[in-house]
Amino acid sequence: METRQQTPNRYVENAPGKFYVVDTCNGCGLCLSLAINNFTYNDDASYYYIYKQPQTPEEEEQCKEAMELCPIDCIHDDGGKYESINDGLYY
In DSSP notation, 72-88 reads T--EEE-TTTTTT--SS
- Which residue of 27, 46, 81, 83 would you call a contact of ligand SF4, by CB under 6 A? 27
How far apart are the C-alpha atoms of 24 and 72, rounded to whole Å? 7
Told to check if 42 binds ligand SF4 by CB under 6 A, we report: no
Closest CA to 73 of 8, 6, 11, 14: 8
Q: For the chain, what is the radius of gyration of the CA atoms?
A: 13
Residue 29 interacts with ligand SF4 (CB under 6 A): yes or no: yes
Minimum distance of ligand SF4 from residue 53's CB (angstroms): 15
* Interface with ligand SF4 (CB under 6 A), residue from 31, 35, 50, 63: 31
Q: Is position 67 an interface residue for ligand SF4 (rule: CB under 6 A)? A: no
Is residue 63 a contact point for ligand SF4 (CB under 6 A)? no
